Amino acid sequence: MAEQEARFVEDLADMDDFAQWYHAVVRKADMADESPVRGCMIIKPYGYALWEAIQRGLDERIKLTGHENLYFPLFIPMSFLQKEAEHVEGFAPELAVVTIGGGEELTEPLAVRPTSETIIGHTYARWVQSYRDLPLLYNQWANVVRWEKRTRPFLRTSEFLWQEGHTVHRTEEEAEAETLKILNEVYVDFAEKELAIPMLKGRKSTTEKFAGALRSYSMEAMMGDGKALQAGTSHNLGQNFAKAFDIQFLDADGTRKLAWTTSWGASTRLIGGVIMVHGDESGLKLPPRVAPIQVVIVPIWRKDEERALVADAVAAVERDLRAAGIRVKSDWREQTPGFKFNDWELRGVPLRLELGPKDVQKDQAVLVRRDTRAKEFVPRGELAARASTLLTEIQQALFDAALAFRQRRTYQANDFAELAARMADRANLGFVEAWWCGDAQCEAEIKARTQATIRCLPFARSTTATEGACVYCGKPAQEWAVFAKAY
């Protein structure tokens, strides 16, 4: 028995080997499967249900902030990508290109979209005539393809699912406001409230910004191994794409003006984030608000009469919970309760409800939290209310735990030696805040020597000083930067 248990959890127990643990969770929790195509994954129902929850949460916010959904084609003429110099340089190395269609060589190769700024820019140029047409606030849910050198399930796949928003504005201020609104009111709000992942918000350094953007902003999350995950980006594209695709409008003053555009995206990578932020040695821990199953009912019985008795009680409880808006599932598989307990913990279901003959007798049920494993006996009539309360508490507890972890693993460095030491301490890896002179050279050398990149120049600084010495060169610096190793 002990041996079996050891064998069952062997891959998960060793969280020190985080990469191994991650792969094991993805597979054992039935989130995804491998595909025959390099770098592409099959998202299984349980993983896809989580993605659907993410889509719902983001889509709702995207629409609340005034955007509409539409859809552009998968293929983009190669010439479109070449119109914005920085953009093509950034994406050319990872393009998949179609050269044959219907058995015949195409006159112009078609890129499988790595992102849609170009084809959308081309189209927006026709849609925008007057300042009265602005702003254009559109979003699309799509798949994109980037031929990545190294892939990992959810975190980096050759094909991935995402939403990409593309907007056009009359003024620079309006475009900047849009960019920040998306970051704050859509991405961070969703990630923190629904995924229970605390986010660090900030601006990207020039090196790290989107290819073709004027300024990029991102939200960065700390994973369980202390590495950073860029979880959502919002770009102020300035007039770069408007110039490249000739998006102009006649303004109220009678002059033709170049428009200002933005783009922003969040992807299936968020699923990887949920796994790596909340998971533990028993597997996944899903935030209740996005968990495909919020309460799993494990019925317990010995004899047939008991089973019938329990079945009635389970059906009634299931109805109650469903009526309270809780996503519930009863597990009637022919397995022992112990097996099911472990199985659902592995899948990260926030609350387990045990119901056996003894409970039917006492008109109660047992509720067990996934996060703390705290167990309580609850009278039948109070189950739905208590479950709702617990789900809310778990949601908050997951966020609090993640925030506490990030705070514990966030350091400051005064000089390069301190920064390097932090990045070398694998067991306590995390974010390091430090002054940076703004020189890309310093940024590059830090990266070469420590693997750490500037995740962002955070909006909220943990120092009141406005100036310091660059962590690398020691020269006067005004930028407060967050360094980390990243996925």
Near RNA in 319-378, by CB under 7 A: 334-339, 341-343, 345-346, 352, 354-359, 366, 368, 373
Q: Of the ranges 1-9, 53-61, 99-107, 133-141, which one interacts with RNA (CB under 7 A)?
A: 1-9
Q: Kindly tell me which residue out of 44, 63, 156, 461 binds RNA, with binding defined by CB under 7 A.
A: 156
1 binds RNA (CB under 7 A): yes
| Smaller CB separation from RNA, 299 or 468 | 299
Beta bridge partners of 451: none
Q: Kindly tell me which residue out of 148, 174, 189, 393 binds RNA, with binding defined by CB under 7 A.
A: 148
| Smaller CB separation from RNA, 4 or 255 | 4
199 binds RNA (CB under 7 A): no
- In which order are the strands placed within the sheet that holds 104-112? 75-77, 104-112, 96-101
Subset of 412-451 contacting RNA (CB under 7 A): 447-448, 451
Q: Least distance to RNA from the beta carbon of 107, Å?
A: 26
| Smaller CB separation from RNA, 170 or 455 | 455
Q: Least distance to RNA from the beta carbon of 90, Å?
A: 6
Distance CA 218, CA 77 (A): 29
| Smaller CB separation from RNA, 162 or 260 | 162
394 binds RNA (CB under 7 A): no
Cβ 313 vs Cβ 297: under 8 Å: no
Q: Of the ranges 42-50, 155-163, 165-173, 319-327, which one interacts with RNA (CB under 7 A)?
A: 155-163
Question: Cis omega (within 30 of 0) on the bond before 73?
Answer: no
**Those residues with Cβ within 8 angstroms of residue 423's Cβ, 6 or more apart along the chain or in another chain:** 429, 432, 450, 451, 452, 483, 485
469 binds RNA (CB under 7 A): no
Q: Of the ranges 35-43, 77-85, 128-136, 455-463, which one interacts with RNA (CB under 7 A)?
A: 35-43
Cβ 237 vs Cβ 87: under 8 Å: no
Query: Nearest 10 degrees: CA dihedral of 274, 280, 282, 288?
Result: -40
Name the nearest CA neighbour of 275 among 402, 457, 366, 383. 402
141 binds RNA (CB under 7 A): no
Subset of 217-246 contacting RNA (CB under 7 A): 230-231, 233
Q: Kindly tell me which residue out of 80, 124, 190, 210 binds RNA, with binding defined by CB under 7 A.
A: 210
Distance CA 202, CA 211 (A): 17
34 binds RNA (CB under 7 A): yes
Q: Looking up tokens 């073709």, which residue turns up?
A: 212
Three-state secondary structure along 30-88?
CCEEECCCCCCEEECHHHHHHHHHHHHHHHHHHHHCCCEECCCCCEEEHHHHCCCHHHH
